[in-house]
Amino acid sequence: MNKSIFFNRSVKMKQQIQTVSIGLIFGISLMLTLTSCETEEAQLAFNDIPVVESYLIQTKPVSVKLSRKTPYDFNVALSDENLDLLQVKILYNDQIRLIPSVGKGEYKDATFFPQEGVKYKLEFKFNNQTVSSSTEILSKPVNYKQSVTTIKMLGIDFSTRPPTRPEMPDPVKLSWANNDNSYYMVVIENTETAPLAINDYGDREPPGRFFRNAPTQTNQYEIQAMRFQYYGKHRLILYHLNADYAALYNDTGNSSQNLTNPATNIENGLGIFTGINADTLFLNVLRP
């Protein structure tokens, strides 16, 4: 008796379940179909704004390099602007100077040298928008000193296992005055025309002739001897920087999880327009 009741109920239930399941599957398929179009990729809007690269250095004529962003998507419509036909102006001390184009997006005035303490404003029209930026040449570094003018060192000895590094000279200590927490950066450059490498790089690409520290707000820097890659004369350039430049070293991310727009001081544009002052010392790296 009980069994048959259970059986009947169970058959009925199975039918109910079948109906509900079919309904559910149908509903789900319908929804999947309806919503699948949402996953299609939409073309991103591309903001065609120029990229500026201009360092105003007291000892160098004014140069402004303009370029375009590389679009991520293909088939992006760019504006008709020609990067070599722009009216690039620099405004300073109530004067306006038009910088002539020298081609390939570069504007240069061989007679125009920026001055310390003067504020400069860059301005040009691009795509009906005024692109502008302001900067100032900071003071020349004061009291820039080095601990030694010559160091002697040998390269790594690869004939031993493991390879051994020979005795290293003391680090070269550089110091300068920094009373206002300014940003400074040291760039070390080998100036020889055909420098001799300190280490044997074998088949590998030899390292560049430059190396640097990150922009710092301290008043000293120690160059570890192991960082020198070539023998010969080195220029030790100390740059006194605006914070705008230091911001370029900020990590803006390069993955879909952390992508943020890079820092820039250009209105309606990207890149950098910044005044830089520098002082230079020299160092000889010799073979003992």
Residues 201 to 230: which contact other proteins by CB under 8 A? Answer: 201-202, 204, 206-208, 210-212, 217, 222, 224, 226-227, 229
Q: Please say which residue, 39 or 111, places its beta carbon nearer to other proteins.
A: 39
Q: Are 64 and 88 in contact (CB under 8 A)?
A: yes
Considering only residues 124-163, where is the footprint of other proteins by CB under 8 A? 134, 136, 156-158, 161-163
Site string for other proteins, 93-122 (x = CB under 8 A): ------------------------------
CA–CA separation, 130 vs 244, rounded Å? Answer: 20
For residue 279, give every residue at least 6 positions away whose Cβ sits within 8 Å of its Cβ, in sequence order, or none. 140, 141, 144, 176, 237, 238
Q: How many CB atoms lie within 10 A of CB 262?
A: 13
What does the DSSP assignment read for 7-21? HHHHHHHHHHHHHHH
181 binds other proteins (CB under 8 A): yes
- Report in angstroms how near the CB of residue 187 gets to other proteins at its nearest: 4
CA–CA separation, 224 vs 229, rounded Å? Answer: 11
- Report in angstroms how near the CB of residue 92 gets to other proteins at its nearest: 16
Query: Stretches 81-89, 91-99, 101-109, 182-190: which one binds other proteins (CB under 8 A)?
Result: 182-190
Q: Please say which residue, 145 or 227, places its beta carbon nearer to other proteins.
A: 227
Site string for other proteins, 52-71 (x = CB under 8 A): -x-x-----------xxxxx
**3-class DSSP assignment, residue 257:** coil
- Report in angstroms how near the CB of residue 174 gets to other proteins at its nearest: 15
CA–CA separation, 100 vs 88, rounded Å? Answer: 7
Q: Which of 64, 244, 266, 277 contacts other proteins by CB under 8 A?
A: 244
CA–CA separation, 16 vs 18, rounded Å? Answer: 5
Which of 93, 97, 122, 121 minimizes the C-alpha distance to 111? 97
Q: Please say which residue, 69 or 125, places its beta carbon nearer to other proteins.
A: 69
81 binds other proteins (CB under 8 A): no
CA–CA separation, 166 vs 163, rounded Å? Answer: 10
CA–CA separation, 237 vs 253, rounded Å? Answer: 29
CA–CA separation, 131 vs 156, rounded Å? Answer: 51
255 binds other proteins (CB under 8 A): yes
Query: Stretches 81-89, 90-98, 106-114, 174-182: which one binds other proteins (CB under 8 A)?
Result: 174-182
Considering only residues 15-44, where is the footprint of other proteins by CB under 8 A? 17, 20-21, 24, 27-28, 31-32, 35, 38-39, 41-42, 44
